[in-house]
Structure 1
Amino acid sequence: MDPITLGIIVAVALMVLMAIGTPIAFALGGVSLMALLYDRGLPELTYFGETFFERLAEFGFVAIPMFILMGAAVASSPTGRDLYRSLDLWMGRLPAGLAVSNIGACSIFAALSGSSPATCAAIGKMGIPEMRSRGYPDGVAAGCIAAGGTLGILIPPSVTMIIYGIASETSIGRLFIAGVVPGFMLAGLFMIWTVIACKMAGGYDNPLGQAAGQMKETIKANVDTNLKALVRVLPFLAVVVGILFALYGGVAPPSEAAGVGAFLCLALAIIIYRMWQLRPIKLIMRDSLRESVMIMLVIACAEVFAYALSSLFITQTVAGAIADLEVNRWVLMAVINLFLLVAGFFLPPVAVIVMTAPILLPIILAANFDPYWFAVVLTINLEIGLITPPVGLNLFIIKGIAPDISLRNILMGSLPYALCMVLAIILLCFFPGIALWLPNLLMG
Structure 2
Amino acid sequence: MQTHLAPEFQNTLEGEEAEAILRKCVHCGFCLATCPTYQLLGDELDSPRGRIYQIKQVLEGHAPTRETQLHLDRCLTCLNCETTCPSGVEYGHLVDIGRQVVERKVERAPAQARQRALLRTALPSPLFGPAMRMGQAVRGLLPESLKAKVPERREPGRWPRTSHARKVLLLEGCVQPSMAPNINTATARVLDAAGIQCLRPRGQGCCGAVKFHLADDAGGRAQMRANIDAWWPHIERGAIEAIVVNASGCGVLVKDYGHLLRGDKHYAAKAARVSELTRDVSELLPDIVAALADRVRPHAGVLAWHAPCTLQHGQRLRGGVEEHLAQLGFTLRPAAQEAHLCCGSAGTYSVLQPELSLQLRERKLGHLLGESAAERPAAILSANIGCITHLQAGTEVPVRHWIEVLDETLSK
The answer to whether TM tops 0.5 is no
Higher relative contact order (CA closer than 8 Å, sequence separation 6+): 1
Greater Rg by CA: 1
Q: TM-score, normalised by structure 2?
A: 0.28
* Bigger helix fraction: 1
* Bigger strand fraction: 2
Q: TM-score, normalised by structure 1?
A: 0.27
